[in-house]
Amino acid sequence: MDQPTPKRPRLSRRSLLFAAGGVAAAGAAGVGGLLATSGDSEPSQGNDLRVSFWGTHQAGIATPAQNFLHFASFDLTTTSRDDLVALLKAWTEAAARMAVGQTVGDDAGSKLAPPLDTGEAIGLHASRLTMTFGFGPGLFDERFGLASRRPEALVDIPAFVRDELKPERSGGDLCIQACADDPQVAFHAVRNLTRIARGKAVLHWAQLGFNRTASTSKNQDTPRNLMGFKDGTNNLHAEDEQLMSEHVWAGDEGPSWMQGGSYVVTRRIRMTIEHWDRTGLGLQETTFGRAKVSGAPLTGTKEFDTVDLTMKDTDGKLVIPMDAHIRLAAPSENNNLHILRRGYSFSDGMDELGELDAGLFFIAYQRDVRKQFIPLQRRLSTNDALNEYIAHNGSAVFAVPPGVAEGDFIGSKLFA
Ligand code: HEM
pLDDT at 43 over 60: no
For range 381-404, the mean pLDDT = 98
Distance CA 43, CA 66 (A): 21
Task: For residues 135-139, give the mean pLDDT.
Answer: 97
Look at residue 12 in the predicted model and tell me its pLDDT: 55
Residue 278's pLDDT band (boundaries 50, 70, 90)? very high
Residues with C-beta less than 6 Å from any ligand 1 atom: 225, 227, 229-235, 267, 269, 271, 288, 290, 307, 325-326, 329-331, 339, 359-360, 362, 373, 376-377, 380, 390
pLDDT in tens, 1-27: 444 443 334 445 554 443 333 222 332
Q: What's the pLDDT tens digit per position in 143-195?
A: 999 999 999 999 999 999 999 999 999 999 999 999 999 999 999 999 999 99
| pLDDT of residue 363 exceeding 80 | yes
Reported confidence tier of residue 109, pLDDT bands at 50, 70, 90: confident
| pTM score | 0.91
Report the amino acid identity of residue 341: R
Distance CA 413, CA 313 (A): 56
C-alpha 214 to ligand 1 mean position (Å)? 9
Contact 397, 136 (CB under 8 A): yes
- How far is Cα 344 from Cα 126, in angstroms, rounded to an integer? 20
pLDDT in tens, 44-88: 455 679 999 999 999 999 999 999 999 999 999 999 999 999 999
Q: Which among 163, 269, 326, 333 is the best mutation to test ligand 1's pocket, defined by most ligand atoms within 8 Å of the CB? A: 326
% of the chain at pLDDT higher than 90: 84
One-letter amino acid of 54: W
C-alpha distances out from residue 332 to 171, 199, 265, 287, 365, Å: 31, 48, 22, 19, 19
Neighbouring CB atoms inside 10 A of 196's CB total 19
pLDDT higher than 50, residue 33: no
Q: Phi then psi for 236, rounded to 5 degrees?
A: -65, 150
Q: What is the DSSP letter of 404?
A: B
Q: Roughly what angle, to the nearest 10 degrees, separates helices 183-196 and 81-99?
A: 150
Question: By percentage, how much of the chain surpasses pLDDT 70?
Answer: 89
pLDDT at 36: 22
